[in-house]
């Protein structure tokens, strides 16, 4: 969601800084380059041999480097990661820039190298800008784990993916189809037109809709709210006016879904149009309780941080090296297997509704 | 535009008229007086000055009247043309899609523009004095977040929230105003600096937190969604602020002096206008309005992150300029600015309803801006030469 690529006019240099925050970003600013370095060899991983039975070392020093320290989503991830580190007797800390510019993470990485951390966990602002210093870190035997937003593949040992893009895209269509009884017009309210992760999800949504069981459903429009409250309001209003037969809106961005829900909740469309998408429980609680929104989904950012922490510890303790097929145990989350290109997928997104929403606070 | 009965000379009247610009005068009051026509020298002397100066009629009544009606027409042209464009836009969209103007549609149009209209009113007061306030976007963001954290999980009333917003806004406005008026630092730099400072404070304070609608008391949210006789509160509030500001600018001495300052600061100073105090007040007002808008932002959107209204300063300045308030000061009305704001937001809504790619919205805003500035310049040159001809006769 958010992805820091916003198209609005700005004076300030802080555009990027702001972008992620506004987005509240759930889906984490994972505007990534997942496929562009396909097939690159992973030398760092092959240096050592994995010993799956090695115990987790005590006193490991983990450093979380988010896209920017202001981002509410990444704050949740990092805090959960730090808590997990304490669980296995290590210590974690969060450092990072106040803006999400491509180069602003570099100096932090250099500092972390000098501090001799055992592992660096990074949500990259730019897949390539951080590469040099990260390779430097790996040379000095500091483990590098990317989360939320990947770096180029040879600059880290592991990437913790919140959920696969395909699963996110397809599951949202499946959910709204069930709510609508596989009938009616739907629209998508996205963030900006060039947000990589949004567009990837939308492609999978379109692909899912090609399945014959959706023959009575039609995607009429993809609208862009630019992760701005007012714009998302206007786009929602416009969709409902331009397509009077519209039955449902999928908004895979936290700003968009909150704005759409707020608008619908006190308009004449309440109860007539289904809203679904990706949002945080705190933000959507009011609209789920007042019946505007029946359900929405998101992965649990706490689990993302937790898994990241354990993966970094497993690397630093020699349980894994980052090669495909290796397995490790991530505390209470159970066992995970490393996939292709060092990727670990957290799992399917959680669906929140009236019944379970009060069990979550983020 | 009204009569200003106490002023006798047409030129003098024109100078104090909301849209008038005692333009094409040399920037420094004392420069090259000999080259000016007699009448114009007279104008220069007391142009920026207050409405209290009585002066002998310099031209025959008939001449004055026709000059005035010419001015009236020219100056109303902007409001009329924007109003016309707005009407065409609304009617056209309505014809294409009748539901654009159903109950919900009208309500949406009014609600969408309220906050921008409010901010445009505040901004035009500053721009009229030949200054600018770029910090409004971050003031809205800060106050929206501040009000949000203040009411979060409590049952504070909407009134307290709004007062807190206004108070914070005034504070921000006073800082900018002091630096501009007493510190004599260019407004562009000061308010750009304030934009960053306020944004920085806001981000540092929020540190990734957000205000969620479920924690905001219903009384506050009601301000954003409630209505009287079917008309939502927000547009009513904006209209009231707008009317008050317009009345003050047109009728009160302080309001007229703001125009005088923007027309020719040097002349205003020589005429004894308390420039620094007036400019400070203009900034305090703009800040207050921005703070108010921040509280309303919270009421309307419910969910607030640290950078709400990020980048809005430019939208606000655009509406003001499109609405005919000259960026060089001394000219324009808040009504024009409000129409500009209405036009920009309505265009946004109309384009979506017409299924036009929303990317065009920005391009069209840009074209409108350029058109506004170009017409300003042309109208300015034309009226100046027309007036000159008349006063020579």
Residue-wise pLDDT for A211-242, tens only, equals 999 999 999 999 988 888 888 998 999 999 99
Query: Which pLDDT score, from 0 to 100, does residue B230 have?
Result: 84
CA distance A312 to A331: 12
pLDDT in tens, A124-157: 888 888 999 999 999 999 999 999 888 888 999 9
Nearest chain B CA: its distance from A123 CA (Å) = 16
Do residues A170 and A158 both lie within one domain? no
Whether B91 is in a domain gets the answer yes
- Cβ <8 Å between A223 and B104: no
- What number of other Cβ atoms are within 10 A of residue A43's Cβ? 10
Q: Is residue A357 part of a domain?
A: no
- Tell me the average pLDDT of chain B: 82
Specify if A353 maps to a domain.
Answer: no
Residue A187 clears pLDDT 80, i.e. is over it: yes
- Computed on alpha carbons and rounded to an integer, the radius of gyration of chain A in Å comes to 21
- CATH of residue B249's domain is 1.10.3470
* Residues A117, A221 share a domain: no
Interface subset of A 275-334, CB within 8 angstroms of B: 282-283, 285-287, 289
**Chain A contact probe: residue of B213, B234, B348, B354 with most A CBs at under 10 A:** B213
Which of A 110-149 lie inside 8 A of B, CB atoms? none
Do residue A266 and residue A308 come from a single domain? no
pLDDT (mean) for A278-293: 92
Report CB contact under 8 Å: A268, B306.
Answer: no
Confirm if B263 and B329 have CB atoms less than 8 A apart. Answer: yes
Task: Kindly state whether residue A8 falls inside one of the protein's structural domains.
Answer: no
**Which residue does chain B place closest to A259, by CA atoms?**
B301
Whether residue A20 is contained in a domain is answered as no
Locate B172 and state its tokens.
């921000």
Token digits of residue A10: 């700005």
Q: How many secondary structure helices (H) and strands (E) does chain B include?
A: 15, 2
Beta-carbon contacts of residue B271 (< 8 Å; ≥ 6 apart): B46, B48, B49, B50, B260
A75: closest CA of chain B, how far (Å): 7
> Any CB–CB contact under 8 A between A9 and chain B?
yes
State whether residue A246 is helix, strand or coil: strand
**Domain CATH code at residue A269:** 3.40.50.2300
Could you tell me if A300 and A109 are in contact, meaning their C-beta atoms sit under 8 angstroms apart? Answer: no
Distances (CA, A) of A45 to A191, A216, A318: 36, 49, 11
A345 has a chain B CB within 8 A of its CB: no
Determine the pLDDT at residue B65. Answer: 60
Same domain for A305 and A158, yes or no, is yes
Distance from CA of B308 to the nearest CA of A (A): 7
CA-nearest residue to B215 within chain A is A286
A157 and A37, same structural domain? yes
Residue A235, chain B, CB below 8 Å: the answer is: yes
CA distance A44 to chain B (A): 34
- pLDDT, tens only, B266-308: 999 999 999 999 999 999 999 999 999 999 999 999 888 877 8
Dihedral, B352, B356, B359, B361 alpha carbons, nearest 10: -70
Q: How far is A180 from chain B (nearest CA, A)?
A: 24
- Do the domain assignments include residue B77? no
**Position B71 confidence tier, pLDDT thresholds 50, 70, 90:** low
Is residue A17 a part of any domain in this protein? no
Q: Which two tokens stand for residue B299?
A: 């009421």
Residue B114 in any domain: the answer is yes
3-state secondary structure labels for all residues of A176-227: HHHHHCCCEEEEEEECCCCCHHHHHHHHHHHHHHCCHHHCCEEEEEEEECCC
Same domain, A131 and A170: no
What range does the domain containing B249 cover? 82-392
Query: Which residues of chain B make contact with A291, given a CB cutoff of 8 A?
Result: none
pLDDT band at B72 (very low <50, low <70, confident <90, very high): low
Residues of B in contact with A269 (CB under 8 A): 104
Choose from A25, A237, A255 for mutation: most chain B CBs within 10 A. A237
* Chain B positions in Cβ-Cβ contact with residue A74 (cut-off 8 Å): 208
Q: Which domain holds residue A221?
A: 165-298
How confident is the model over A321-339, as pLDDT tens digits? 988 999 999 988 899 999 9
Is A355 part of a structural domain of the chain? no
Looking at residues B132-136, what average pLDDT do you find? 96
Sign of CA dihedral A242, A247, A253, A254: positive
d(CA B96, CA A243): 13
Nearest by CB to residue B349, choosing from A73, A75, A234, is A234
Apex A254 CA angle, A253 and A259, nearest 5: 100
Distance between CA atoms of B198 and B196, rounded to whole angstroms? Answer: 6
Same domain, A49 and A113: yes
How many domains, chain B? 1
Give a yes or no: residue B36 inside a domain.
no
Q: Do B311 and A15 touch (CB under 8 A)?
A: yes
CB atoms under 10 Å from CB of B359, counted, come to 11
CB atoms within 10 A of CB B2: 9
In a shared domain, residues A127 and A181: no
B48 domain-assigned: no
Q: Does A279 lie in the same domain as A174?
A: yes
Q: Are residues A172 and A277 in the same domain?
A: yes
| B295 Cα to chain A: minimum distance (Å) | 15
Residue B298 in domain: yes
% of residues, chain A, pLDDT over 70: 86
Number of domains in chain A: 2
Residue A11 sits at the chain B interface (C-beta within 8 Å):
yes
In this complex, which of A9, A22, A287 lies closest to B307 when CB atoms are compared? A22
What pLDDT shows up at residue B64? 56
Is A188 touching B (CB cutoff 8 A)? no
Nearest CB to B358: which of A235, A237, A286?
A: A235
């Amino acid at each position: 969601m958010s992805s820091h690529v916003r198209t609005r006019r700005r004076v300030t240099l802080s555009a990027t800084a702001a972008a992620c925050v506004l987005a509240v970003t759930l889906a984490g600013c994972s505007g990534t380059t997942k496929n562009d370095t396909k097939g690159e060899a992973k030398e760092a991983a092959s240096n050592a041999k994995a010993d799956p039975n090695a115990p987790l070392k005590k006193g490991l020093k983990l450093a979380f480097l988010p896209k920017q320290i202001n981002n509410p989503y990444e704050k949740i991830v990092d805090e959960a990661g730090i808590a997990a580190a304490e669980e296995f007797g290590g210590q974690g800390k969060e450092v990072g820039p106040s803006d999400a510019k491509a180069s602003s993470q570099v100096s932090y990485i250099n500092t972390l190298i000098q501090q001799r951390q055992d592992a660096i966990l990074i949500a990259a602002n730019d897949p390539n800008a951080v590469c040099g210093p990260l390779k430097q870190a790996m040379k000095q035997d500091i483990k590098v784990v990317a989360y939320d937003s990947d770096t180029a593949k040879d600059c880290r040992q592991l990437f913790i993916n919140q959920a696969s893009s395909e699963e996110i895209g397809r599951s949202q269509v499946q959910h709204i189809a069930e709510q609508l009884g596989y009938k009616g017009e739907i629209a998508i309210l996205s963030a900006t037109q060039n947000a990589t992760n949004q567009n990837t999800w939308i492609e999978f949504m379109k692909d899912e809709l090609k399945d014959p069981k959706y023959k009575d459903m039609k995607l009429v429009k993809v609208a862009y709210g630019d992760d701005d409250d007012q714009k998302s309001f206007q786009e929602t209003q416009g969709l409902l006016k331009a397509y009077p037969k519209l039955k449902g809106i999928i908004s895979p961005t936290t700003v968009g879904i909150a704005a759409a829900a707020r608008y619908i909740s006190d308009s004449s469309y309440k109860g007539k149009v289904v809203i679904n998408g990706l949002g945080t429980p705190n933000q959507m609680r009011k609209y789920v309780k007042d019946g505007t929104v029946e359900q929405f989904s998101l992965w649990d950012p706490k689990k993302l941080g937790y898994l990241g922490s354990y993966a970094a510890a497993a690397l630093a303790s020699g349980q894994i090296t980052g090669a495909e097929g290796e397995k490790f145990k991530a505390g209470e989350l159970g066992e995970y297997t490393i996939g292709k290109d060092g990727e670990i997928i957290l799992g399917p997104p959680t669906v929140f509704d009236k019944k379970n929403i009060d069990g979550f606070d983020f | 535009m009204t009569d200003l009965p106490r002023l006798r000379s047409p030129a003098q009247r024109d100078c104090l008229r909301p849209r008038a610009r005692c333009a094409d005068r040399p920037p420094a009051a004392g420069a090259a007086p000999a080259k000016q026509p007699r009448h114009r020298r007279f104008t220069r002397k007391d142009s920026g000055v207050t409405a209290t100066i009585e002066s002998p009629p310099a031209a025959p009544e008939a001449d004055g009247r026709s000059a005035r009606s010419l001015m009236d027409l020219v100056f109303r042209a902007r409001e009329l043309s924007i109003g016309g464009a707005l009407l065409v836009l609304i009617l056209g969209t309505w014809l294409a899609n009748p539901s654009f103007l159903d109950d919900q549609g009208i309500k949406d149009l009014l609600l969408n523009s309220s906050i921008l209209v409010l901010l445009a009113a505040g901004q035009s007061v500053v721009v009229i004095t030949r200054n600018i306030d770029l910090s409004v976007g971050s003031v809205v963001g800060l106050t929206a977040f501040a009000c949000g954290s203040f009411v979060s999980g409590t049952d504070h009333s909407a009134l307290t929230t709004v007062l807190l917003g206004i108070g914070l806004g005034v504070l921000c406005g006073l800082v900018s105003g002091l630096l501009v008026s007493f510190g004599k630092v260019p407004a562009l730099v000061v308010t750009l600096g304030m934009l960053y400072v306020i944004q920085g404070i806001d981000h540092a304070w929020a540190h990734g937190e957000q205000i969620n609608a479920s924690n905001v008391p219903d009384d506050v949210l009601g301000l954003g969604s409630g209505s009287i006789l079917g008309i939502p509160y927000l547009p009513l509030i904006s209209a009231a602020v707008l009317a008050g500001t317009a009345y003050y600018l047109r009728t009160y001495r302080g309001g007229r002096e703001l125009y005088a300052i923007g027309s020719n600061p040097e002349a205003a100073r020589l005429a004894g206008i308390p420039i620094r105090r007036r400019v400070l007040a203009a900034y305090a007002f703009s800040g207050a309005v921005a703070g108010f808008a921040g509280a309303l932002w919270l009421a309307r959107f419910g969910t607030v992150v640290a950078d709400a209204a990020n980048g809005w300063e430019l939208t606000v300045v655009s509406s003001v300029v499109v609405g005919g308030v000259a960026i060089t000061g001394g000219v324009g009305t808040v009504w024009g600015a409000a129409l500009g704001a209405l036009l920009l937001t309505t265009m946004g809504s109309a384009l979506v309803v017409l299924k036009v790619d929303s990317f065009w919205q920005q391009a069209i805003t840009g074209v409108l801006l350029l058109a506004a500035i170009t017409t300003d310049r042309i109208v300015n040159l034309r009226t100046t030469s027309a007036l000159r001809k008349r006063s020579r006769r």
